[in-house]
Structure formats: structure tokens, C-alpha cells
Amino acid sequence: MAIKKVTVAGSGVLGSQIAFQSAFKGFDVTVYDINQEAVNKAKDRIKNLRHAYHRDIAASDEEFNAGISRLKYTDDLAQAVSDADLVIEAVPERPDIKHDFYKKISTLAPAKTIFASNSSTLVPSMFAADTGRPKQFLNMHFSNQVWLNNTAEIMGSSETDPAIYNEIVQYARDIGMVPIQLKKEQPGYILNSLLIPFLDAAEKLWINGVADPHTIDRTWIVATGAPFGPFGILDAVGIRTAYNITAASLPDNPGLQPILDKLKELLDEGKLGQESGEGFYKYPNPEFKQKDFLKG
């Protein structure tokens, strides 16, 4: 089956990016979220990608507008998946929400539909039974700023049909990604298996009072030449996503509770990261992009 119609369920930071990148590359895309308010935010979030596509990949207004023209929006789940060849799930990183979501769409989507989760840390075998189509279910994880950081990590379960896996590999290529093909299930795939311990280490330095977030980031940027540090990364990923990932890891690592508490404080203050205009930094002009930041 050739994938033509794509539904992205969940229109947060990454869901919106996945949806637009797919439309930008020629696919008809439906963006679904739970209510009209969330849908309206998605429309604004996607429209605001124009500058980044201009700046980073020299996309013309004509090309960007063509991508916009291929997008539809809805808060009706049945309508969203009614004729989808592929549903990409980008709902919050909470097992209960994902279990419920797959149980719902298993009865709403046609038999042809492939389901792919963009989960950051949860493996497909956790939800395969909920989908009602374990052979047509796998994970496909994207990095933030998908138009620049072009990885799509593809991970099946032991039940995933190899032909479906290969079809998703081709889809990843078709939307401009580099398909990273995992041979077995791994929580966190390759990227997050490397990234999450790095972020945990930075957060522990912070909560233990060793240094503040800006000093930790400054150290990393100056010493390695990286464009930003761990707390800049957390703002880009989104504090809510970081909170959910940490919460999911808590049963196996209770030492993460102080980090979870500090992230909760930020959420309670409405500091969601880049999405809200403030997290560990203020946006659109965070301190780490200013020349004096590196001088200490």
C-alpha cells in the first residue's frame, strides 16, 4: 500500500512539526487534537514555522503555502482517521493516555491503516494489543526541529510485519528524514538512550545546588562548541514532555523525584519552554544566543 493520506494525532510542538513536514513534502495531512482550542493553537504553531523554513532550508513562500494547503484540522477523532493510510500518534507521553487512544482508534480506523507512535521512551509491544492490528503497528520517533534534525528512528515489536516496517522506512525517506532502523525494542531508541542520561546529569547538578542552569549550559557550550546546553534542550523539547518522561521513569528510579518536583514547579508557573515563551530561558531571544552569555 502506498501511503498518501496521513493523520497526526496530537498537535503539540513535535506533532505540529511532523504534520507540516509531511504536508510540505506532498502528503495530504489531517491534524487531530482533543478540542477546538487545541486545534486553533496547532494552526498558529504551524503558521509560525514559516520563518524557520525560510531561514534554515531556504523554503520559498510558494513552497510553504503549498504545504499549508495540504493540511486539514479536526477535533473529531472518527473523522480524523476515517480514511487514513497512516496515523502518527504524538499524544502526551503517558501510558494511560496512549492505551486509551489506541483502543479508540482500533475501532475507528479502516483495516488498511498503519499506526505509528512517536513515543520518546515507550516501546511498541506495550500498546500492540490495544491497536487490534499488531502487525501494522510500530514506533517512529522524530527529533525536535524535524526540518533540520532529520532523523526518524523506526522500531517495531516482534509482531510488526517486516513489509509494514519497510513501508515506514520509505515514508520517512519521502518526507526528508534519514530512517534510523533499530533491530530490536529499546526504550528511548538510540537518541534518547544517549540524551536522557545527559539531561538527568545536568538536572542533578542543578537540584543539588552545584550550579544554576545557565552556568551548566555555559560550561557545555564553551567546552564542546555545542549550540546550546542541556537546559536549552529541555526548553526545546518542552518542560511538559520532560516531566512526563521523568514521571514514567520514576518507578525504576525513585531518585528522580526531586527533579520531577522542580519540573512541576516550572509547569505550575506556566513555564513550558519555547512553546510558552519561557522555561529556563525567555524566548524568542534566549540568553544563550547572546554574545555575553559565554563570557560568564
Q: Which residue, among 20, 87, 94, has the nearest Cα to 50 in the 3D structure?
A: 20
Which helix (H) or strand (E) is 140 found in, with range?
strand 137-142
Beta bridge partners of residue 152, listed in sequence order: 142, 179
Retrieve residue 42's grid coordinates.
496547532
Retrieve residue 155's grid coordinates.
522500531
Retrieve residue 248's grid coordinates.
514514567
The predicted pLDDT at position 1 comes to 60
Contacts of 58 (CB under 8 A, 6+ apart): none
Q: Give per-residue pLDDT as tens, 182-236.
A: 999 999 999 999 999 999 999 999 999 999 999 999 999 999 999 999 999 999 9
Asked if residue 252 has pLDDT above 90, the reply is: no
Q: Which residue, among 207, 199, 202, has the nearest Cα to 261 in the 3D structure?
A: 207
d(CA 48, CA 182): 33
d(CA 101, CA 247): 19
Q: Give per-residue pLDDT as tens, 39-48.
A: 999 999 999 9
The predicted pLDDT at position 193 comes to 93
Q: Please, what is the Cα angle at 53 between 49 and 55, to 5 degrees?
A: 115
Q: How confident is the model at residue 8 (pLDDT cuts 50, 70, 90)?
A: very high
Phi, psi of 31, rounded to the nearest 5 degrees = -100, 125
Phi, psi of 179, rounded to the nearest 5 degrees = -70, 120
Q: Give Rg (Cα) of the chain.
A: 19
Q: How many Å is the maximal CA-CA distance in the chain?
A: 59
Q: Give per-residue pLDDT as tens, 151-193.
A: 999 999 999 999 999 999 999 999 999 999 999 999 999 999 9
The predicted pLDDT at position 7 comes to 98
The predicted pLDDT at position 150 comes to 97
Beta bridge partners of residue 180, listed in sequence order: 153
The predicted pLDDT at position 245 comes to 87
Which helix (H) or strand (E) is 94 found in, with range?
none
Asked if residue 147 has pLDDT above 90, the reply is: yes
DSSP conformational letter for 282: B
Instruction: Give the global pTM.
Output: 0.86
**Amino acid, res. 95:** P
> Edge-to-edge, what's the strand order for the sheet holding 114-117?
71-74, 28-32, 5-9, 86-89, 114-117, 137-142, 151-156, 178-181
Q: Give per-residue pLDDT as tens, 125-144.
A: 999 999 999 999 999 999 99
